[in-house]
Amino acid sequence: VAYRIRQKIKQLLFVFISWPKEPCTPFNIVLISSYGSRHPRATKRPNITCVSEFHLMGFSEVPELQPILFSLLVSMYLGTVLGNMLIILAISSDYHLHTPMYFFLYNLALDDIGFSSTTVPKMIVNIQTQSRVISYVGCLTQMSLFLLFGSMDDMLLTVMAYDRFVAICHPLHYTVIMNPRLCVLLLFVCFFISLFNVLLHNLIVLQSSCFKDVEISNFLCHPSEVLNLSCFDILIKNIITYFIGSIFGFFPISGIFFSYYKIVSSVLKIPSASGRYKAFSTCGSHLSVVCLFYGTGTGVYLGSSVSHSPSKGMVATFMYAVVTPMLNPFIYSLRNRDINRALKMLHFR
């Protein structure tokens, strides 16, 4: 018995001494072995892999398609930045557009530039350098910015639905309800909720000292993908995913649905067809963006815990992270006379 106790003490001391005291190098594997054990199977323990970099998935490994993908991404990124910059300049240069509706649209355009800049430049660099490696710190940084701008987009679309609800259902009290102080307060609330989402994800990822793999099944460090690679229990992962999905998916969508339910009820009471058309036209562009953003974003987030299909996940992520920010300025300006007038005035200056 004394001999066995001494052997156990030696084993514990060996594990304690051999435990890494510094950050791990790439693919450094720490094996917890059973010191002094006579049975060969007793030396097998689960491997803990500490990584300092991850590998992102590319859209295609075919060399002939790389120039096409490069040109497509550069064109889409320039279209996103220039389109949203035009919206920002048009709103800031025309004092007629200094209203709550365009205040939130202005901030949405700023957010879309940041949202697209978080992912697309890295994709362009990866294609140009033919490298899919991203450092651990770079992955956390990209994930944090992606969450911040994505959550801001999420919250701003909800606030814009509330703004449309007040404008159509309470037109006489619109300027009193949507006063500048409330608009700024709503913007700060959106920011702090988004910041809470970032801190929550970072806390979860940093608590995990090991990862099962370094291959991320997406073209960016998507939060759900990074969480899937961590060594957390599957049940805990699903609880976290559904909790965050309910906060940034279910509740905002419920608020938007409630706002549009009230809007439709009020619009149907308008006697003239032209009045109904005008009321619906102000909401059409917002509804298009909501369907595109929430339809793909919520599907990726909640679907990651049910079934894991890398190709479908990449397409859906590409739609709401790259395509939606590019289409937003065109959707909001095509049928908006005020924006078109401001853009024409900006052109002739």
Closest by CA position to 161, among listed 105, 209, 121, 206:
105
Residue 30 has pLDDT above 70, yes or no: no
Q: Which residue has the tokens 């910015």?
A: 145
Q: Which helix (H) or strand (E) holds 330?
A: helix 324-334
Residue 142 has pLDDT above 80, yes or no: yes
At 50, the pLDDT band (50, 70, 90 cuts) reads low
What tokens appear for 210 in the block? Answer: 């090991």
171-220 pLDDT, tens digit each: 889 999 999 999 999 999 999 999 998 988 888 887 766 777 788 888 88
Neighbours of 313 (CB within 10 A): 22
Is the model more confident about 32 or about 339? 339
What tokens appear for 264 in the block? Answer: 């439709």
Range scoring the smallest mean pLDDT among 18-22, 61-65, 76-80, 133-137: 18-22
Range scoring the smallest mean pLDDT among 23-27, 53-57, 287-291, 300-304: 23-27
Q: Is 126:56 a contact under the CB 8 Å cutoff? A: yes
What tokens appear for 307 in the block? Answer: 């079934």
Residue type present at position 191: F
Residue type present at position 152: M
At 305, the pLDDT band (50, 70, 90 cuts) reads low
For the chain, the C-alpha Rg in angstroms (whole number) is 25
For the residues 235-247, what does the mean pLDDT come to?
74
Question: Domain spanning 53-347: which superfamily?
Answer: Rhodopsin 7-helix transmembrane proteins (1.20.1070.10)
Is the model more confident about 28 or about 289? 289
Domain segments of the chain as ranges = 2-50, 53-347
76-106 pLDDT, tens digit each: 999 999 999 999 998 998 888 899 999 999 9
Name the strands in the sheet holding 215-216, side by side, starting at the edge strand that comes first in the sequence: 133-135, 53-56, 215-216
C-alpha span between 339 and 349 (Å, rounded): 15
Is the model more confident about 326 or about 41? 326
23: helix, strand or coil: coil
Phi, psi (rounded to 5 degrees) for 53: -155, 160
Closest by CA position to 335, among listed 288, 289, 281:
281
At 32, the pLDDT band (50, 70, 90 cuts) reads very low
C-alpha span between 266 and 170 (Å, rounded): 10
C-alpha span between 293 and 77 (Å, rounded): 17
Is the model more confident about 47 or about 57? 57
At 116, the pLDDT band (50, 70, 90 cuts) reads very high
Adjacent-strand bridge partners of 48: 30
Largest CA distance in the chain: 95
pLDDT, averaged across the chain: 78
C-alpha span between 189 and 194 (Å, rounded): 8
What is the CB-side half-sphere exposure of residue 107 using CA atoms within 13 A?
A: 23
For the residues 291-295, what does the mean pLDDT come to?
80
